[in-house]
Structure formats: C-alpha cells, structure tokens
C-alpha cells in the first residue's frame, strides 16, 4: 500500500461513520428555534450588528464603532418531515413552517 492508498483509506474511514441522528439535529436548530421561527414568519424585525473594536497602532483597544441596526422581513423556513420528527414537532405545532417531503 502506497501513501495515496493509505490516505484514501483514512478518508474513507473518517467519513464512512455518519453521526447518529439523535446526537444533533442535522439542521443544527433546536425545538425552541423552530417554534420561534414559526411565530416570526411573515413579520418585520430589527437586527443589531455589534460594532467592531478600534485599536491604536500598538493594538490597544481605544473605542468601538457604532452598532448597526437594520430591519428585515422574515419570510419563513423550510424543514423536512424527518427534521421535524427529530425535534419532536408535528406539522400542527408549526403551521407557518414549510414542510418538505423526505428524500427517498
């Protein structure tokens, strides 16, 4: 086995074991996130982007730029049936979430 073969085998082994579905939802969202997005669908909301630290020539902080405030429209979110089930939700729990069929 040469170096290329060993590297290929290492990569195959690394990616051949999928993360168990019950560890973390594949979307990274929590149940509370989805419920909040369901409630906020179709609304306008303000977002705040924190300012950045300003440093002097020696790298010492001397100030902060202003926080930026913007208004955005939240049109909603799409999840698959499986993602909803993994979070313990049903379509009735989140009527404003667009539910996509699972891939076969």
Write down the pLDDT at residue 17.
Answer: 67
Which among 67, 89, 70 is positioned nearest to 80, based on CA atoms? 89
User: How many structural domains comprise the chain?
Assistant: 1
* Domain annotation covers residue 12: no
Q: Is residue 74 within 8 Å of 42, Cβ to Cβ?
A: yes
* Domain annotation covers residue 26: yes
Domain boundaries, position 31: 22-100
**Paired sense of beta strands 43-49 and 98-100, if any:** unpaired
Element (H, E) at 8: helix 3-16
* Domain annotation covers residue 41: yes
CA–CA separation, 19 and 28 (whole Å): 13
15-53: per-residue pLDDT in tens? 776 655 554 556 678 899 999 999 999 999 888 999 999
* Domain annotation covers residue 3: no
* Domain annotation covers residue 39: yes
* Domain annotation covers residue 40: yes
pTM over 0.75: no
């Amino acid at each position: 086995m040469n170096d290329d073969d060993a590297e290929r085998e290492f990569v195959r082994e690394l990616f051949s074991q999928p993360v168990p579905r019950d560890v973390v939802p594949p979307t990274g969202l929590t149940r509370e996130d989805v419920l909040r997005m369901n409630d906020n669908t179709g609304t306008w909301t303000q977002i705040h982007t924190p300012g950045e630290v300003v440093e002097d020539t020696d790298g010492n902080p001397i100030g902060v730029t202003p926080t930026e405030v913007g208004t955005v429209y939240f049109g909603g979110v799409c999840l698959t049936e499986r993602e909803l089930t993994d979070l313990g939700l049903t379509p009735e729990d989140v009527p404003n979430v667009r539910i996509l069929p699972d891939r076969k």
